[in-house]
A and B are shown apart, each in its own frame.
Chain A
Amino acid sequence: MSFILRRLGFYIAAFLVAATANFILPRLMPGNPVDIMFSQQNSTLTPEARQALIETFGFASGPLHLQFLDYMKSVFTGDLGYSIRFYPQTVNQVLAYAAPWTILLAGTATMLAFAIGSTMGSFAAWRRGGKFDAIVTPASLAVQATPAVVVAISVLFIFGVALRWLPTSYAFAPSLDPAWSWQFFGSVFVHGLMPICSLMVVFVGGYLVTMRNNMVGQLGEDHVTMGVAKGLSDRRVQFNYAARNALLPSVTSLGLTLGAILGGSLVTEVVFNYPGLGQTLYIGIVTRDYPLIQGQLLIMTFATLIANFLVDILYVFLDPRLRKV
């Protein structure tokens, strides 16, 4: 228990550091954010109009330490203010609209990549040097090294533009409204196919290679030799004796790679015009919507820390040694 508490303390400290960096970084960027934001809106804006807009959007002014206190208050009350680009929506509303789509997109792609990659990796290791291994392993290394944007654009071009099999943008047909109907879920499914698959392809190589390497290590262990000696079937030795243990490091990396997942998701969302957090962050950065960027970074920090905390808790159950500390 004390292990969990210590880790919890660490995560709270990490969150505070990240939240502070989140406050400082935009202020280190060249130019005054308020001027830049509004100078792009309209070049004929008078100083009075500019001042009135600043007040409308509730920009903190005054000495830096007071701004920081205001900011920290907003972090802990969860009131992140208005988005500039999506006004009159608040940052919370914008993020609440986008988050489910990213969870659907990145979540499904990661889970599929994990399942497919690990399974294929275990087969590749089981018959290492065989035909399957010789093709799949280098291929997945190659795909893993391909930038997500290349994969996404190729998929978009082939299946969306050339063959016209699948819709090229949106999370569902724009003529529909969200509803508990087959039509709506079918539309979500069809619109998700290309982005989910292209994102999955990017991730699958990593899990495959990790699994293969762990599995190769496991195959040299005594318990696997014993399983074979007991005369168990190949499948049983492969899955119950070797793969089960080999899987643990992959589970850990699932939590740790959340950042990479969100990064890959950003590119894919932009290419397929998918209304998730990545696309929202992108537009926030391009239009210098500081409240939105801040809110988004906070959420990402929070999500990464929570994921790591969950992995820590999982470790307590997996590794009995930690329970005694």
Chain B
Amino acid sequence: MKLQRLTAMMLAGALALPGVAFAQNEGESVLTAVPQQLTAWVENYNPMNATTVLPTVLDFMFEPLVVFNAIKGGEANYRLATEYSYSEDQLSLTFTMRDGAKWSDGEPLTAKDVAFTFNLIKEFPALDLRAVWPKLESVEASDDKTVTFKFKQVDAGLIYQIVQTYVVPEHVWADVADPVTFTNPNPVGSGPLTEIRRFSPQEYIQCRNPNYWDNAELEVDCMRLPQVSNNDQVLTMASNGELDWFGSFLPDIEKTYVSGDPDHRGYWFPAGSPVFVSLNMESEDPGLKEAFNDVNFRRAFSMAMDRQAMVDIAGYGYPTANEYASGLGKAYDVWNNAEAEAEYGKFARFDIEASKALLAESGYADKDGDGFLETPTGQPIALEIIVPNGWTDWVNTVQLAVEGLAEVGINASMATPESPAWTDALITGKYEAALNAAATGVSPHFFLDGSLHSRNIGQNRFAAARYVNPELDAALDAFNATTDADAQREAMTKVLALIAADMPLINVFNNPLWYEYNTTRFTGFFNADNPVARPVVYAGVPERLLHLLALSPVKQ
């Protein structure tokens, strides 16, 4: 009897707790977001830490100098800086700082803090996450408002890396003995949300910076970050209406998420990083080496890819098919080279018959009667496409690719190593073919350079095709060798023409940028009807700051 009463009491006590309440002040607006999946939060507010920094430290706790809006062709949104300019020789870049900007503890935020931060990461290379110092000569503040970066050589892409290095307050960090291991326990920041109201491994709450220069625009008082460890958990919480802003793969999203409350729930999956098949052009297999280095083979390979099926079947309709011969993709369509696409675009579209015809015409035939084609010199072709184990949408994509290749007579199979082994194989070049993707930046130059410039071979996994084309290298270098918009456009047009003509990568689709929202508590979310900027909440996309500032609480 007693035990029963006890149990009942405990149950009552626990059930009386509302699901999402915390010590909240009257009238405060609290946004619940899931920017990262993890099994436990760890307190680390060091914006220069790459491994365990909390996902709301960049952009929200520490504001960038400028946010470049990738969807709008790199349009500048000035934040801590109000202006930037290059010198005549384009070798120095000067930022003008915002008047009256303050740190969250009330101290003035000046150009000296910027210079201090960059010289700090020069002293501690482990902090140089954007790899800026190899390209910089010096960083100096001439007064409180002006800071000048001297470049080793002209590099128009460097500014995007510079503004993603987050400035820390000199009056706090000057006394830190080891900024590499420093976890910044009492953070003093510059962004909209700097006060950690509550921290536990299961959730933390980050609230308004009393001294934020743009507080008039900010209507979200606090962000609440529940610890969530996997997609299923996100789906469970989202379908209970607990989440306001998140980004996660949800199977059959219309049914599992939107249909629960169609008036308030929405999503938008703009095109993200390009996904492509890398063919190892330095393969030790003579047949593969011959075929992979033949542009006609690559074109036939590309025409055997049923991109729409990959998007619809493998990707649940979420990715965006990439039918650009240059691989540019929808996300960067403003840069498109229409002429090159008109000429070579047909090679980036699914066409089994054309693929077969091109192979036959180029001398590929089944000479030994095994049902598969040999190269023009008679070498057998048998390739294995590697894809990380467990990345089910990608695994299904490769399956569809293998089917298409079999139809045109190319002997392809799939292997699914663990993702670290896949990464390692791509970097070291010990593989035959792979499904791969590139990281994107503000302009298309970043991913095209990363995946196709020969200097990146062996340096990253994006350049796994090990493609060497001095003409393309020069064209890519030309893009960053000027800050003149017209000259850049001209350089990009050339880059795209060269890629479209030689098709070094077999692009299939663009990964979606994962983004879902619920307008029950807040409005102003970006979506396909209101495409202001990339809308994701996870770190690495600084536009999320613009998104936060666009949100307004719903009047209860």
A169 to B235, CA, bound (A): 12
A48 x B125 contact (CB < 8 A): yes
Closest CB pairs A-B (n = 8): A52-B126, A31-B424, A186-B14, A48-B125, A186-B13, A186-B10, A174-B203, A174-B202
- 10 A-B pairs (CB sep. < 8 Å): A49-B128, A87-B52, A88-B44, A174-B200, A182-B9, A182-B10, A186-B9, A190-B11, A273-B230, A275-B201
B236 x A161 contact (CB < 8 A): yes
Closest to A50 in B: B126
Partner of B126, one of A40, A56, A280: A56
A61 to B124, CA, bound (A): 21
A94 to B39, CA, bound (A): 11
B125 x A189 contact (CB < 8 A): no
Partner of A52, one of B22, B39, B125, B227: B125
Which residues of B are at the interface with A, using a C-beta cutoff of 8 A? 9-15, 17, 19-23, 38-40, 42, 44, 49-52, 124-131, 133-134, 161, 180-181, 183, 200-203, 226-230, 232-233, 236-237, 239-240, 417-418, 420-421, 423-425, 427, 439, 450, 460-462
A270-296 interface code vs B (CB 8 A; 1 in, 0 out): 110101000110110000100000000
Closest to B46 in A: A88
A174 to B18, CA, bound (A): 11
Residues of A within 8 A of B228 (CB): 169, 273
A115 to B53, CA, bound (A): 45
Closest to B178 in A: A56
A168 x B233 contact (CB < 8 A): yes
B126 x A49 contact (CB < 8 A): yes
Main secondary structure of the interface of B (DSSP, over half): loop
Residues of B within 8 A of A171 (CB): 202
In the complex, whether A156 has a CB less than 8 A from a CB of chain B is: yes
A164 x B240 contact (CB < 8 A): yes
A167 to B20, CA, bound (A): 11
B15 x A190 contact (CB < 8 A): yes
A interface size (C-beta, 8 A): 62
A283 to B300, CA, bound (A): 41
B50 x A42 contact (CB < 8 A): yes
A36 x B424 contact (CB < 8 A): yes
A40 to B233, CA, bound (A): 24
Interface centre among A52, A85, A273, A280 (most CB of B within 10 A): A273
B39 x A283 contact (CB < 8 A): yes
Residues of B within 8 A of A67 (CB): none
Residues of B within 8 A of A156 (CB): 232, 236
A32 to B203, CA, bound (A): 34
Residues of B within 8 A of A189 (CB): 10-11, 14
Residues of A within 8 A of B200 (CB): 174, 177
A52 to B289, CA, bound (A): 38
In the complex, whether A154 has a CB less than 8 A from a CB of chain B is: no
Q: Closest approach, in angstroms, between the C-beta of A84 and any C-beta of chain B?
A: 6
Residues of B within 8 A of A48 (CB): 125-126, 128
A45 x B201 contact (CB < 8 A): no
B131 x A45 contact (CB < 8 A): yes
Residues of A within 8 A of B50 (CB): 38, 41-42, 45, 53
Given the known interface contacts A41-B51, A273-B233, the answer about A46 and B14 at a Cβ–Cβ threshold of 8 Å is no
Residues of B within 8 A of A94 (CB): 40
A183 to B12, CA, bound (A): 9
B13 x A275 contact (CB < 8 A): no
Q: Closest approach, in angstroms, between the C-beta of B73 and any C-beta of chain A?
A: 22
Residues of B within 8 A of A168 (CB): 233, 236-237, 240
Those of A99-123 within 8 Å (CB) of chain B: none
Residues of B within 8 A of A40 (CB): 420, 423
Q: Closest approach, in angstroms, between the C-beta of B42 and any C-beta of chain A?
A: 5
In the complex, whether A160 has a CB less than 8 A from a CB of chain B is: yes
Q: Closest approach, in angstroms, between the C-beta of B162 and any C-beta of chain A?
A: 12
Interface centre among B50, B202, B450 (most CB of A within 10 A): B202
A49 x B420 contact (CB < 8 A): no
Given the known interface contacts A46-B128, A87-B42, A87-B51, the answer about A174 and B17 at a Cβ–Cβ threshold of 8 Å is no
Q: Closest approach, in angstroms, between the C-beta of A46 and any C-beta of chain B?
A: 5
B229 x A273 contact (CB < 8 A): yes
Residues of B within 8 A of A282 (CB): 39
In the complex, whether A175 has a CB less than 8 A from a CB of chain B is: yes
Q: Closest approach, in angstroms, between the C-beta of A36 and any C-beta of chain B?
A: 4
A190 x B14 contact (CB < 8 A): yes
Closest to A173 in B: B17
A169 to B40, CA, bound (A): 12
In the complex, whether A86 has a CB less than 8 A from a CB of chain B is: yes
Given the known interface contacts A49-B131, A52-B124, the answer about A39 and B13 at a Cβ–Cβ threshold of 8 Å is no
In the complex, whether A35 has a CB less than 8 A from a CB of chain B is: yes
A31 x B421 contact (CB < 8 A): yes
Closest to B182 in A: A88
Closest to A182 in B: B13
Closest to A40 in B: B423
B423 x A46 contact (CB < 8 A): no
Interface centre among B40, B227, B239, B460 (most CB of A within 10 A): B40
Q: Closest approach, in angstroms, between the C-beta of B14 and any C-beta of chain A?
A: 4
Residues of B within 8 A of A186 (CB): 9-14
Given the known interface contacts A160-B236, A190-B15, A271-B232, the answer about A44 and B38 at a Cβ–Cβ threshold of 8 Å is no
A85 to B239, CA, bound (A): 29
Given the known interface contacts A169-B236, A175-B17, the answer about A88 and B203 at a Cβ–Cβ threshold of 8 Å is no
In the complex, whether A43 has a CB less than 8 A from a CB of chain B is: yes
A185 to B439, CA, bound (A): 46
Closest to A279 in B: B39
A86 to B125, CA, bound (A): 21
B424 x A30 contact (CB < 8 A): yes
A282 to B200, CA, bound (A): 21
